[in-house]
Amino acid sequence: MAAVSEYFGSLVFDDRVMKANLSAEVYQSLKRTIDEGAKLNIGVANAVASAMKDWAVALGATHFTHWFQPLTGVTAEKHDSFISPAPDGRVIMEFSGKELIQGEPDASSFPSGGLRATFEARGYTAWDPTSYAFIKDRTLCIPTAFCGYNGEALDKKTPLLRSMAALNQQALRILRLFGNDTVKHVNTAVGPEQEYFLVDAKMWEQRRDLRFTGRTLFGTKPPKGQEMDDHYFGAIKPRVAAYMEELNDELWKLGILAKTQHNEVAPAQHELAPIYTTTNISTDHNQLTMEIMQKVAARHGLVCLLHEKPFVGVNGSGKHNNWSIATDTGVNLLSPGETPYENAQFLLFLCAVIKAVDDYQDLLRISVATAGNDHRLGANEAPPAVVSIFLGDELAAILGCIEHDAPYTSIDTGKVRLGVDVLPKFPRDTTDRNRTSPFAFTGNKFEFRMVGSADSIACANIMINTAVAESLRVYADRLEGAEDFEAALQSMIRKTIQDHKRIIFNGNGYDDAWIKEAVEQRGLANYRTTPDCVPHLLDEKNVQLLTSHKVFTKAELVSRYEVTLENYCKTIRIEADTMVDMARTEIIPAVQAFILDTAKTAAAKKKLIAGCPCEYEVKLVKQLAILTDQMAAKADELEQAVLALAGAGDVAKESAAIRDVVLPRMSELRLACDEAETLTAKKYWPFPTYGDLLFGVR
């Protein structure tokens, strides 16, 4: 078997391949485009396209596609072949610079949230040269942005790139104020830890809820769940190990730095973490990772569930978004420095994040709002819907001293009064982990834990980048005009701590007492559901933020609002319809069959033993008869509730009706069916149970 270092990135048109296949002149010109955003001329594009095609064809590719990320959350591609007819009746393989730079897929089938109603049905894809092209399924995939006729972003990549540009611009202003003239570019980096479940494909096929909605809509907890904590970091089962091995190989070929893998807390749950990289590339890689995870699973007779909450009563899945800011000179701006001077700069960036998270808690919550993720957030599970920041005791104590101008006792220096030029050396404590915090500082990065496992990380990073860019803008405006830089810096840091300390919480985020304190005493937002939070996307302050940094236009924001709520409604409608269908055509008939056989048993007993009371059968039949009526009635009610949605009017009203009427009916129907499951003999139950699914892969 070949060494990983030999095939890592073998399907990627990366820097090494570019250098080897492009003339020095073309390579330099492309590099300028990649690193500095310089415009690419058509001659260079033609040369790059031709080299890309030759490279891809040599590796067996026959088609190319502009690979993009529409608002559906998954990736899209439309394949074109390289084939072009030659005069001699044969074909030649062609690919032009124009085809590389821009594509024109029919956009009408992608959601646009009304953007296209006022414009044209056409959409454009534009090459994003900062993310390498790669080969997948014998197709050369070119990462692209996707926009409408007038440049409106119809995808997630465009605003992400804009938010990175906004942060770069403001962070550079701050660095210049600290006398740094060498840094040319500041980027954010992300390492997303991806959680997922693996279930047996044969069992999955028998469950329509899993097939249609990605989660179980019925099912009672097995006697053994995660209470023994024996799965977490436990030995990986052979079938899962074989899956992980192949998955790593596939990801490595695509240049994805899949690094760690282990079991998670819940049975059948696992995690994959890549090594962090530039946010934009990390986002592309995470989309690819999710796709490859599902493909490889199929080859192993498994199904990879990316849903946030596939099983009730069992931990859900998230995606921990590890985020940091770094300069092109390799300095992590969230890493406490060695000198007091570096520390002051670190403190300022730290404060920028604290202020950003407090000012835009709502946007962070909105950025992860989906029907699936609502089952995790706001449901007494990791992490809560209330956004707060964990800093650890040491850092919190330092900030407390700065706030009150009080002396701080450090191990190195003893008691010191803190100031910009007298700051303690921060201990880089990465061991102090608070797993319950939605936004935790972990030594030199922040870990945003609210992202759903199935979601693109683009939305969350757009909001984090932009909110932090805004903090830095405010700081830079003030500091650039200050007469005494150090005094201004000191007072600004103090003021940030005073104004925003309410967002800092180092305790247990699952605790009900915390939610109460957060909401009642600290005034933090607690949006439990998607319909609760998404309308706030259009709040004046949020529109102001996102448009002033040129991340979204107002029209684009309205479109995001529409699409997010539309997705929510569609998702739950499908779930509701699936439930009604499964209850009527699978569960109720199964219970009836069991009732009939139980009644027959009682009759047979009576025949054998005159006067036999058959108490057990009678009681069971009675209970199940009542439940059957309940299930049928609840299915009718749910069906009615879904039908009534047609008159809701707009998407805000419809999503509210779903939250208030449809979801409670779904719970009621489920309750009756789950109770019937506990009373019905296993062989009658029409599909695999939780026990089968969670412990079925060995």
Site of interaction with ligand ADP (CB under 6 A):
189-191, 193, 273-276, 322-324, 332, 444-445
Closer Cβ to ligand ADP, 467 or 579, answer by number: 467
Closer Cβ to ligand ADP, 440 or 676, answer by number: 440
Which of Mg ion, ligand ADP, none interacts with 180 (beta carbon under 5 to 8 A by kind)? none
Closer Cβ to Mg ion, 75 or 437, answer by number: 437
Helix 458-480, helix 340-359: angle, nearest 10: 120
Closer Cβ to ligand ADP, 322 or 529, answer by number: 322
Closer Cβ to ligand ADP, 109 or 260, answer by number: 260
> Nearest residue to ligand ADP, using CB?
191
Which of Mg ion, ligand ADP, none interacts with 219 (beta carbon under 5 to 8 A by kind)? none
Closer Cβ to ligand ADP, 290 or 401, answer by number: 290
Closer Cβ to ligand ADP, 323 or 687, answer by number: 323
Q: Which residues contact 530 (CB under 8 A, 6 or more apart)?
A: 369, 370, 371, 373, 374, 564, 565, 568, 655, 659
Q: Which residues contact 422 (CB under 8 A, 6 or more apart)?
A: 340, 416
What is the distance between the alpha carbons of residues 491 and 353, in angstroms, rounded to a whole number?
17
Least distance to ligand ADP from the beta carbon of 322, Å?
3
Least distance to ligand ADP from the beta carbon of 155, Å?
23
Site residues for Mg ion per CB under 5 A = 320
Cα atoms in the Cβ-side hemisphere of radius 13 Å centred on 236? 16
What is the distance between the alpha carbons of residues 211 and 552, in angstroms, rounded to a whole number?
35
Least distance to Mg ion from the beta carbon of 320, Å?
4
SS3 77: coil
Closer Cβ to ligand ADP, 274 or 336, answer by number: 274
What is the distance between the alpha carbons of residues 449 and 546, in angstroms, rounded to a whole number?
22
Query: Would you say 559 and 115 are in contact if contact means Cβ atoms under 8 Å apart?
Result: yes
What is the distance between the alpha carbons of residues 552 and 544, in angstroms, rounded to a whole number?
10
Query: Would you say 469 and 170 are in contact if contact means Cβ atoms under 8 Å apart?
Result: yes
Closer Cβ to ligand ADP, 262 or 573, answer by number: 262
* Torsion, CA 586, CA 588, CA 591, CA 592, rounded to 10: -110
What is the distance between the alpha carbons of residues 367 and 464, in angstroms, rounded to a whole number?
9
Of the candidates 120, 138, 125, the one whose C-alpha atom is nearest the C-alpha of residue 68 is 125
Closer Cβ to ligand ADP, 96 or 278, answer by number: 278
Q: Any alpha helices (H) in 88-151, and if so which ranges?
A: 97-101
The dihedral through the CA atoms of 684, 630, 626, 224 has a sign that is positive
Least distance to ligand ADP from the beta carbon of 481, Å?
32
Give the N- to C-terminal CA distance of the chain in Å, as an integer.
26
Least distance to Mg ion from the beta carbon of 680, Å?
41
Closer Cβ to ligand ADP, 100 or 189, answer by number: 189
89 CB neighbour count, 10 Å cutoff: 6
Least distance to Mg ion from the beta carbon of 694, Å?
23
Closer Cβ to ligand ADP, 9 or 70, answer by number: 9
Least distance to ligand ADP from the beta carbon of 24, Å?
33
Q: How many Å separate Cα 86 from the centre of its chain? A: 46
Of the candidates 245, 531, 494, 219, the one whose C-alpha atom is nearest the C-alpha of residue 378 is 531
Least distance to Mg ion from the beta carbon of 312, Å?
25
What is the distance between the alpha carbons of residues 608 and 530, in angstroms, rounded to a whole number?
60
Of all helices (H) and strands (E), which one includes residue 92? strand 91-93
Least distance to ligand ADP from the beta carbon of 279, Å?
9
181 CB neighbour count, 10 Å cutoff: 7
> Nearest residue to Mg ion, using CB?
320
Least distance to ligand ADP from the beta carbon of 262, Å?
9
Least distance to Mg ion from the beta carbon of 462, Å?
21
What is the distance between the alpha carbons of residues 349 and 331, in angstroms, rounded to a whole number?
13
What is the distance between the alpha carbons of residues 412 and 393, in angstroms, rounded to a whole number?
17
What is the distance between the alpha carbons of residues 566 and 651, in angstroms, rounded to a whole number?
6
Query: Would you say 354 and 446 are in contact if contact means Cβ atoms under 8 Å apart?
Result: no
Least distance to ligand ADP from the beta carbon of 40, Å?
29
What is the distance between the alpha carbons of residues 79 and 64, in angstroms, rounded to a whole number?
6
Token pair of 482 as six digits: 């200050």
Closer Cβ to Mg ion, 388 or 526, answer by number: 388
Length of the chain: 698
Which of Mg ion, ligand ADP, none interacts with 534 (beta carbon under 5 to 8 A by kind)? none
Least distance to ligand ADP from the beta carbon of 191, Å?
3
Which of Mg ion, ligand ADP, none interacts with 190 (beta carbon under 5 to 8 A by kind)? ligand ADP
Which of Mg ion, ligand ADP, none interacts with 274 (beta carbon under 5 to 8 A by kind)? ligand ADP
Of all helices (H) and strands (E), which one includes residue 260? strand 258-263
